[in-house]
Amino acid sequence: MRILKVAYNGGGLSKKEGVEKAPEIIVTHLKQANLNEAELLPVFDFVDVKVENDNIENSRKIMKSMASSIPFIAIGGDHSITGPLFETNARENSGIIIFDAHPDLVEGKNSHEDWLRSLIEEGKVKPQNVILVGIRNSHIQEVDFIKKYRLNTYSMKEISHKGVNETCDSVMSAARSWDSMYISVDIDVLDPAFAPGTGYTEPGGLTTRELLYFLQRLRLLKNFMAADVVEVNPDKDVNEITSKAASKIVIELA
């Protein structure tokens, strides 16, 4: 599996410092990996994506060029990297599943808070082919946008009522109909007890085991295109708990 190391923090706004350090630390853990839980040994091809944190447009072009060969798993970096990585290989009926505490649908430009809104408004993905999982903190702008475009959203409140198994059944049922599927994991989808090392922690999130359950099942689908793991900030981590969780996610997706 190609692993794209995208040490980009240019979309991180006020809390951007630190996420650019995540790829190297996560890769250190990956190099120590044994079998995954399917009892398969992942083989990694590590690729450095030479981004420029002070040049958004040039960095987007570089990301697109490096993402032209699929499948891959990208390690960020902030969540703004997902836009160019997804759209490079997206087809008319491609879809994206986003695990995140926040919808990332505010009005803005080229940041980790608005990248998904841009993808939808620019026609890079059909609204009905967007699935948000783990949401638990939204701005009123984002709530209105979700209602306007009827985005498929599974909040943590809903997941706690339906259960992880039933929620995953629903997500997989929708994703099966897509030409290709992209999975994006913002590490803050996890409860801070399991991932303290991120910029915007939100209580009441998924456990690491619950997230792995989703990902292991989704990875069985034949239309898997690519994935990313973003928003790990080693400067805020505790005993590398978050970096290790991110490496585990990559191992199970590979």
pLDDT digits (tens, 9 = 90+) for 118-145: 999 999 999 999 999 999 999 999 999 9
Flag the least confident range among 7-11, 19-23, 76-80, 163-167.
Answer: 7-11
| pLDDT of amino acid 8 | 92
pLDDT digits (tens, 9 = 90+) for 70-119: 999 999 999 999 999 999 999 999 999 999 999 989 886 665 568 899 99
pLDDT digits (tens, 9 = 90+) for 166-186: 999 999 999 999 999 999 999
Does residue 52 register a pLDDT over 90? Answer: no
CATH code for the domain in which residue 192 is found: 3.40.800.10
The tally of domains found in the chain comes to 1
Beta bridge partners of 3: 46, 73
pTM for this structure? 0.95
Domain range enclosing 169: 2-253
> Tokens 């060969």 appear where?
69
| pLDDT of amino acid 60 | 83
32 C-beta neighbours (distance < 10 Å), count: 7
Q: Are 5 and 72 in contact (CB under 8 A)?
A: no
Tell me the pLDDT of the chain averaged across its residues: 94
Q: Please give the torsion angle defined by the CA atoms of residues 195, 200, 204 and 206, in that order, rounded to the nearest 10 degrees.
A: -50
Determine the Cα angle at 99 with ends 96 and 105, to 5°.
Answer: 75
Q: Please give the torsion angle defined by the CA atoms of residues 165, 184, 189 and 199, in that order, rounded to the nearest 10 degrees.
A: 170
| pLDDT of amino acid 110 | 60
The mean pLDDT of 194-199, rounded to a whole number, is 97
